[in-house]
Amino acid sequence: MLVLGLGQASVAGTGAGALVEHLVAGEAPRPQWMDVRTRDGRGRAPWFPADAGGFETNPLPARKLRRLDDFSRMFVRVAAEAAPVRAAGESADGVSVGVVTVSHHGPLRTTFAVLDDMLEAGDDMVSPFRFSGSVGNAPAAAIQQVLRLRGPLLALSGQRGLLGEALWIARSWLDGGVVDRVLIAGGDEVHEVLLHGLLRSEELALDGVPRPLAPGRGGVVPAVGVGALLVGRGGAGERPRTTVSVVQLSSLEEYAAGGTWPVMLVAGGWSAEGEFFREAARLLGPRAFLPAAKLGTVDASEALMSVAAASCLLRGVLPSPLAVTGTEAADEVDVGRRFDCLCRDPGGRGYVVSFRLTTDD
Amino acid sequence: MRVLVTGAGCICALGAGSEVVRTALYDGQVPPGSLCRLDSDLSSRPLARRVPPGAERALPDADHLSRTSRMALYGAREAALEAGLLPADEELAARIGVAVGSTTGTTFNNEDFYRRYRAGDTIEDDAVARYLRNDPAAVIASSLGFGGPRLTITTACAAGTDAIGIAARWIATGRAEIALAGGADELSRFTYLGFASLKNSSDEPCRPFDRRRKGLNLGEGAAFLMLESEQSATQRGRHALAEIVGFGSAGDAHHITAPHPEGRGLRKAIEQALADAGVGPDDVAFVNAHGTGTLENDRVEGTVISGIFGRSTPVVATKGATGHTLGGAGALEALFTAWSLRDGFLPPTLGCEEPDPDCLVAPSPRGTILDGARTCAVSTSLAFGGGNSVLVLRRPEGGGAC
């Protein structure tokens, strides 16, 4: 499959270019702080909002965006960056595009807004607009409606492994001739109840510094973000092209010994997967990069991290040493032809989303 | 590769277990205690359908699990048991996939916790953690030891259909030999009040395709199908309930809650599913419609169905018996479709005594014997957000022996 478009919104700003600049630059972002309940009272919890200011120049119809909540609106804007339908001037009616979204919590803030309606205003005062926007497939539906895409629509829920599933689904649609392209968008947002939960479970980095490879707990700074890829087959266009494939790993050792390309580790500092990613970092050495060190941890982060990998590949750059796994000798890393994203599926097995440049048809 | 159904399980307002549910469905009997109205301050409280009190004790005793996960586990276990996979050989189980459709089941809707959180009252330690670990696909996979591909799908009212369609694709492409697929959703004040706010729910028993219809009744339930490649089913000596032969999906790209007025997405999804199955409208014995009992859904759906299949193809809608079980609906209805194909009997469409001529279809409030010459059936699902998903099932040859 070819990667035909990329889009993102995160603490880095909007657009693949902003993401690369952020990862290459040396500074770590400063978190914002939210007042939340703790077990015994109140406290502060760090988080990274998405800087969506760049979207103001995006030529999407304001009227259609108006009724969307922030979460769905962010998905739509990122999707529009990745999907060149409008940019190419093609009629939306003539383009067959499927949509797959991935999120762990879905429209979380709107969900709690509905609960707020119930508790504050009474049962009769639940907003139908908010309720509609709280459903898990709301971002996918919003993408279809605003971009006028009428192919199949899927919304997947979960934290890990779903980018691999989404790419499998995309390939099956493309192979079956169901669609010409597939837009995959994944991301999450942050709410104080989630931060409360992370405080109680001690996963939160209380000093606001993300530690994607932290031993034990306390490495996570939650972040808002969405990443999107448009994939398809063939067609005219510039060379070299970027292909994407999914590879299941049978062994981290074998994978690490296999080459010199750089690898983004989709490590978010979660205690349940720390051992896996620390081992990966040890084996990969200076080839391993940790985007979460500079972006925070978006819950369903694989799509955003993949956009980071693909974007760096296209520009032939590596993230800054801050994003490296504590080593500095990055000279022998070959960023020319391939950049991978190392992920972990729900069963604990590793898999790789691999981006490669090719001049082939 | 052929995709066979070698096991099934369900729980809903008709009861717990396939035998109980099928009997009630065919008899057109609504169990006592299944009709309810949730506690609320609504001036007009919509009718809903819950698992009847007598069937509650069938649910797994697991306080750490959400109600959705408990119902899902019940349906999944029954399906696995019928397929001879409970327990499953460890090596085989490690490759079995799980695909689950759910809406409420993946939403943080713990109203009681949130009320206490906001009020500053004492709150339990792990309410958030409990929500996080109640992914129904993860619960099933963990409980049954199934380690193959895993998905939770949240395409609202089409989620169960999508789960079956995707799992069937896993098997057809050789990604898995066996996969458990279905859907589940619980009744919750969150969705109850939400649908009431949309003016989509009725305070009377719902009437799919009836001219007097006033809206849907929310329901709760779970249904699961064990899907298996023909080769695997033959090797294991399993009988097939049905075969999944086609799947189609398309979006309306029209409105967040209302279907496209001409049903363009549904039409496309049906055409895709028929093409995927390699059959035409004349091969279809009946259509199991989404049939929610809302004004627009039924009108649009009926118009599309009659336009493709003609007015003589029987149509059934079962939400008058089960209520609208959201993520569970597509899976329940796929199971009902499989039963009807096998048994040659179409259950009554409860609530449709006076078919609306504007809907262009006329489901019967009485059960009917099917013409056995046609071996396929179609099950349609129309979702919030404009998604449309369709399955085509076929009656297995030779009585289902593999």
Three-class HEC string of chain A: CEEEEEEEEECCEECHHHHHHHHHCCCCCCCEEEEEECCCCEEEEEEECCCCHHHHHCCCCHHHHHCCCHHHHHHHHHHHHHCCCCCCCCCHHHCCEEEEEEECCCCHHHHHHHHHHHHHHCHHHCCHHHHHHHCCCHHHHHHHHHHCCCCCEEEEECCCCHHHHHHHHHHHHHHCCCCCEEEEEEEECCCHHHHHHHHHCCCECCCCCCCCCCCCCCCECEECEEEEEEEECCCCCCCCEEEEEEEECCCHHHHHHCCCCCEEECCCCCHHHHHHHHHHHHHHHHHEECCHHHHCECCCCHHHHHHHHHHHHHHCCCCCHHHECCCCCCCCCCCCCEEEEEEECCCCCEEEEEEEEECCC
8 Å CB contact of B155 and A150: no
- Give the C-alpha separation, A202 to A205, whole Å: 8
Return residues 60-99 of A near B (CB < 8 Å).
67, 99
8 Å CB contact of B154 and A156: yes
The reply to whether A145 touches chain B by the CB within 8 Å rule is: yes
The reply to whether A169 touches chain B by the CB within 8 Å rule is: yes
Angle between helices A70-82 and A108-116 (to 10 degrees): 160
The pLDDT of residue A331: 55
**One of B10, B12, B157, B352 is an active-site residue; which one?**
B157
Q: CB pairs below 8 Å between A and B: how many?
A: 186
A155 contacts on B by Cβ (under 8 Å): 153-155
**One of B290, B359, B376, B402 is an active-site residue; which one?**
B290
- Give the C-alpha separation, B185 to A102, whole Å: 20
Question: Token pair for residue B14?
Answer: 């008709």
Under a CB-based contact definition with an 8 Å cutoff, are residues A62 and A211 in contact?
Answer: no
B157 is catalytic: yes
The pLDDT of residue B110: 86
B206 is catalytic: no
8 Å CB contact of B256 and A200: no
Q: How many residues does chain A have?
A: 361
Question: Token pair for residue A291?
Answer: 């985007």
Total-model pTM = 0.96
The reply to whether A43 touches chain B by the CB within 8 Å rule is: no
8 Å CB contact of A124 and B147: no
Burial of A129 (0-12, 13-18, 19+ CB in 10 A): middle
Paired with A263 in beta bridges are: A288, A340
- Give the C-alpha separation, B148 to B165, whole Å: 16
The number of beta carbons lying within 10 Å of the beta carbon of residue A64 is 15
- Enter the ipTM: 0.96
Which of A68, A109, A123 to probe the B interface (max B CBs under 10 A)? A123
The reply to whether A197 touches chain B by the CB within 8 Å rule is: yes
Q: Which residues of chain A have pLDDT under 50?
A: 87-91, 326-327, 329
The pLDDT of residue B132: 80
8 Å CB contact of A39 and B125: yes
B290 is catalytic: yes
**One of B324, B359, B376, B402 is an active-site residue; which one?**
B324
The reply to whether A154 touches chain B by the CB within 8 Å rule is: yes
- Give the C-alpha separation, A301 to A226, whole Å: 8
The DSSP 8-state label assigned to residue B257 in this structure reads S
The number of beta carbons lying within 10 Å of the beta carbon of residue B192 is 23
The pLDDT of residue A104: 95
The pLDDT of residue B123: 83
Q: If you measure CA to CA, which chain A residue comes closest to B134?
A: A158
Q: Label the pairing between strands B218-219 and B48-49.
A: parallel
The number of beta carbons lying within 10 Å of the beta carbon of residue A124 is 15
8 Å CB contact of B249 and A154: yes
8 Å CB contact of A154 and B155: yes
Angle between helices A70-82 and A138-147 (to 10 degrees): 50
pLDDT, mean of each 10-residue run, chain B (402 residues): 97 98 96 95 95 94 91 98 95 97 87 90 80 90 96 96 98 97 97 96 97 98 98 96 98 84 94 97 97 96 97 96 98 98 97 97 96 94 94 83 50
φ/ψ of B344, rounded to 5, equals 65, 30
The pLDDT of residue A237: 57
- List all residues 6 or more positions away from B381 whose beta carbon is below 8 Å from its beta carbon: B157, B158, B160, B161, B290, B329, B330, B333, B388, B389, B390
The pLDDT of residue A91: 45
8 Å CB contact of B127 and A112: no
Residue B248 to residues A168, A232, A273, A313, Cα–Cα distance (Å): 17, 19, 36, 36
- Give the C-alpha separation, B99 to B106, whole Å: 14
A344 contacts on B by Cβ (under 8 Å): none
B24: number of CA atoms within 13 Å, CB side?
23
